[in-house]
Each structure stands twice: as C-alpha cells, then as structure tokens.
A and B are shown apart, each in its own frame.
Chain A
Amino acid sequence: MIDVSHISKRFGSMTALDDISLTVPRGSVLGLLGHNGAGKTTLVSILSTLSRPTSGRARVAGLDVVTRGEQVRRLIGLTGQYAAVDETLPGRHNLILIARLLGATRAEAAARADELLALFDLTDAGHRNAKNYSGGMRRRLDLAASLVGRPEVIFLDEPTTGLDPAARRQLWEIVERLVKDGTTVLLTTQYLEEADYLADSITVLAAGRIIASGTAAELKERVGRRSVSVTLRRAEDRARTVEALRRAALAPSHEEDGLLLTIPVADSTDVAVVVRAVDEAGTDIAGLAFSEPTLDDVYMALNHPTTTDSEAGTSS
C-alpha cells in the first residue's frame, strides 16, 4: 500500500533522509521508530505530499506522491506531530468543517462528526471550544479529523508523545480499531513499547538512515530482553541473593562491588519469580524495578550513537 524506494531528502547541505526504502502492505501497521531529528516527520511529509523528496520515489496505493499528489490526497489521512485543530471552534465543528471540505452535505457532515465524537469518547466535549481540551482530548480530536474521509492510509506522527499513560492507552485502542477496519497505518514514535504494541513491523531510523527493520519480536531479539533490577541494602547479601536467583533459573549480573543486580527476564510475570528468590534468600532490598527496553537500548544494541537532541541528531 505504501512503497518507498530510495528516498533521500536534503535541506541545503543537511541530509534529513538518506536512501530510505520500505514497504507497508495493505491493512498492516508500520512503526517508524527514531529519536528527535531522525527524519520521521520528513518522511511523513513526503508521503502525505506536503514535501518533495530530493531523490527517489514513493507511492501510496500505487500512485506516485509527487506526480499524482491530487489522487493520493483523496486516500490518505494525516495526523501531524502537533495537533492540528482549530482552537477557536468547538470540537464538533472542527469535524464538520473537514467533512464539508470533503464534499459532505450539512446533514452528512453532522452525522459523521457525531459518529466520530462517539467513537473517540468526545461526545460530551463536542460543543466545547477545542482550546479548552486536554492534551489527550486534542490528540483524539485531531485523529478523528484525519478519519473523517475514511482514508485508506493513515499517517500518525508521534500520536502519543506528551500524553499520560492512560491517554496513551486510549489512543492505542483507537488505532487498533482502525487496523481492524483494514486501514493501513504508518506510525512514528520514540517509544519502542508503542511500536511493539501497535506495529506489525518496525523500522528504526537514526539520523536519516534505516538502521534496522523487522518484526517487533526480531527487533527485541536483537535488543535483548527486559530486565528486573534489584538494589541491595548491604553488599554482604549479594552472594546469597545471586545464588538464590540462579537456583530460580535466572542469570543476574552486577558490577564488581555494586549493590545493583540486573536480571534479564522474558516478561513482567517473571518479576514474581525474582521477588520469591530474593525473599527466599532473606535479603533486605532497597529497591526493585522492572524495565522494558527503550529506544536507547535499541540504538545501543545496534551500535548506533544515541542522541536525544534534534540538533545533535542532524549530523550523519
């Protein structure tokens, strides 16, 4: 459905995208994972016809995004990185406006708006001005606006950045529902967890290049597993604790004289195993935490320098 072939994009001497190729089959979700400045928005802009590639070709539903932009725009929905809602209008009117622009009659537009407000849990807020919405509500309204025309393909640029966990969950569920309807989704994110949850396949972007791609499982295989970290109170407890953990078929590691034990685990249910082992050893602990691999772990595992600053991310 989306077919990107050797796309490069330069801004002056700066290379934002360097020879990017990828495909997204119809009805599937591609997660484009990368830090600030990796080039995610640049690629989304090209695919949604807002920007032209310096070289290479990209097609959506077989239509070239440069030469057939007009037709491409009939098929796509874009939810940009910054919620694009008219703050002076109530949420409902934002949706009606989009529907009217797409050719709906007043009645059709109102019906479609109400349908989407219900779907996005915004019915009660529909009559309030969008400027009074919370971040999560604004994102939902923005996503709803990009769905008014029932697009075949939808681009979501960092849909959950800045949202609290509950609002993020809610958005994830909406995206899942879209996918069930057969919509093709290209989603960008800085969270491995999000790409893992939503995407059928993941492409990792760093400084404009693809540094890895595959399924979430393949990627996590390369990144290493999740881990539990246990902080001990006393160094004397260490040997005993390590012993107990080994008996539970775990493989703890620690620094020479450190109080921190890192225990790779398969998933969060193994936390209980760790707790039991520590308890069995009678160890007094100062802290215990479960951690998912992060994007930083991905970059590290792929031997790629980590940068979180968009300026620093530009060099290639």
Chain B
Amino acid sequence: MSIATERPNPPEADPAAAAGPPRERQRFSGSGPLRQIQVLSGRSLRALREPALVLPGVLEPILMLTVFSQVFRSVSQAQSFPAGVSYIDYLLPAFLITSAVSAGLKSGVALTTELNNGIISRFKSMPIHTGTILIGRSVADTVLNAVNMVVMLVAGALVFGFDPEGGILGSLGALLVAVVLGWSLGWVFMALSAWLRKPEAMQPVGGMVNMVLLFASNAFVPTDGLPSWLRAFAEVNPMSHAITAARSLALGEPRPGTVLMTLGICTVMVAVIAPLAIRNFRKAS
C-alpha cells in the first residue's frame, strides 16, 4: 500500500495528516472471545508444567488428610456416626468439597493480586473482551482443581485406604460435584475480588467467607452433633448440600435429589454472579 511508505511530516506542520486515517501499519486482525479464553486459560495452566507451582496445591490437601484422619479418627466412635462406614470413606468426599472452597478462594485472591500488579491493566487496555479475562481464569482454575482432586482420590485410595461402597464411579461422581462447586465458588470469590480490589480488603473478607462455609457445615462432623443454632445454619449452607451429595455418591447410597439440587444451586449461582463479577470488573474507575 502506497500510504505505508510515506513518512510523517514534522509534527508542527501536520494538521491534515492528523485528521486523516492512521498511517497504515501491519496490524494483527484481532481475536474472538473463544480464542481469548483459550489463550488466557492456557496462560494460567502453564503452571501445571512447573512442579514448584503445582506441588503445594497437591501436598496441602494430602497433609491435611493425614492430620484429619489421625486426629478425628475418634469421631467415628461417636454415636451419631453412620454405622459400618470407615472414617476415611466418610471424610474424603467432604475433603474434596472443602478443597473446592479453598480453590475458589485462591481464584479470588489471585485475581486481586493481578488487579494490583498491572497485568490486568495491560489486558484492559487491549482490544479484548474484559469478561474473557475472568472466564479464562475460571476455566484454568477449574481444570487445576479437577487435577488436584484426582490426585487426592488416588492418594486417598493408595495411602489412606479409601475404598467406599460407591466404588470408582461413585468417587468420580463425588469429584464432579466438588469440581462444579469449586467452579461456582470461584465466581463468588472473583466477584468479591472485582468488588473489593485491594488485597487488604480481599484477604480478611475472603478468609471469613471461607471460614463460614467450611465450619458451619457437615464437613467434619455430622450436623446432629452441633448445637442447634449452628445446625440451623449448617443445614442451609450450600456446602452441606454439596457434601451430602458427594458423600451419598461415594458411599454408594446416591441421593439424586440432593445431587441435582447441588448442581442446580451452583449453576444458578454462576448465572447470577458471573455477569455481576464481569460488570464490576469491567467498570472503569
């Protein structure tokens, strides 16, 4: 194109050129949302190739599993505990769910970090859809979460004697529930992050939400054993539903109603919260 060869006039004498179309430059054509999601999630998933970044995520739950299986073994002697179920079989499905919550929290905290180190500003100043930054992160974190959970199940079976009635199929069902919960909580925490922005705000608020979800639930002990006011909350906590669903699948007494309800709640949560998160995230300050 002939226009490309023309040198700009000295700036002072350039009114005509300034009003005209930009000088021709070799430019990339722009990308669609799917490509953006693929590239952005690929960016986060590269971490999978670096052991230093993956190991903590894998070791932490295994360590926790060790501690819990030792410390809480006595619970299985408690009256309210289901008869004939080994504690590890009871514990591991719940563990999948609690690590899903931690994974969700990690998504939010990681987003806050990037919001403040300039990389998000770079993406936002580029011609891409802002929402794909969050969707890409959600995809990557969900995949990472699933990988971590597979590792937990395998470690549970090999090291801790996890061998539930539901077998492999039931365990995978529990894993699916956990992955879906992690996906939806990831959006909850990313929405919090997009709203709070600052790590100083995100750390305590995220930690608190995490805490409430975890401990006011039937994750570690049956709710029957809780004081009545705490039990009331534990029973409406979506975590409790997810745990009941995952447990029922793993222990070979599937409760389709609870499973569907959990998946339904998670999907509705994402449908409502994701657009809010994206809108908050996109908003120019």
Contact = CB atoms under 8 A, between A and B. Distances in A.
Interface in A53-110: 61-62, 70, 73-78, 80-86, 88-89, 93, 97-104, 108
Contacts of B121: 45, 48, 50, 78, 80, 84
Interface string B43-63: 100110010010000000000
B201 interface: no
A98 B126 contact: yes
Contacts of B11: 25-28, 200
A89 B125 contact: no
Nearest to A82: B118
A50 B46 contact: no
B118 A150 contact: no
B8 A88 contact: no
A182 interface: yes
B124 interface: yes
B119 A86 contact: yes
A103 B30 contact: yes
Residue of B12, B30, B119 with most partner-chain A CB within 10 A: B119
Interface in A1-33: 1, 25-28
Contacts of B12: 25
Contact of A103 (B8, B23, B35, B46): B35
Contacts of B124: 49-50
A51 B117 contact: no
A49 B125 contact: yes
Interface in B12-30: 12, 14, 17-19, 22-23, 25-30
Contacts of B50: 88
Given A27-B14, A75-B22, A101 B7 contact: no
B46 A78 contact: no
A264 interface: no
A61 B7 CA distance: 17
Contacts of A74: 27, 30, 127
Given A26-B18, A50-B284, A101-B39, A85 B119 contact: yes
Interface residues of B, number: 39
A293 interface: no
A150 B284 contact: no
A27 B31 contact: no
A103 B125 contact: no
A149 interface: yes
Contact of B122 (A78, A100, A182): A78
Given A75-B22, A76-B125, A27 B39 contact: no
B150 interface: no
A293 to B, nearest CB: 25
Contacts of A26: 8, 11, 14, 17-18
Nearest to B7: A182
B40 interface: yes
Contacts of B78: none
A206 interface: no
A52 interface: yes
A160 interface: no
Interface string A140-168: 00000110011010000000000000000
Contact of A88 (B14, B53, B285): B53
B209 interface: no
Interface string B119-163: 101111111100000000000000000000000000000000000
A25 B122 contact: no
B118 A80 contact: yes
Contacts of B7: 182
A27 B26 CA distance: 17
Given A78-B121, A82-B118, A146-B122, A25 B18 contact: yes
15 contacts: A48-B125, A49-B125, A49-B284, A50-B125, A61-B22, A62-B19, A73-B127, A80-B118, A84-B118, A84-B122, A99-B28, A102-B28, A102-B126, A102-B127, A103-B35
Q: Which 9 A-B pairs have the closest CB atoms?
A: A84-B118, A25-B11, A28-B11, A102-B28, A78-B125, A27-B8, A84-B122, A103-B31, A103-B28
Given A97-B43, A98-B126, A150-B27, 15 more contacts: A25-B11, A25-B14, A26-B11, A27-B11, A62-B19, A74-B27, A80-B121, A81-B118, A82-B117, A89-B43, A100-B39, A101-B31, A103-B28, A103-B35, A145-B122
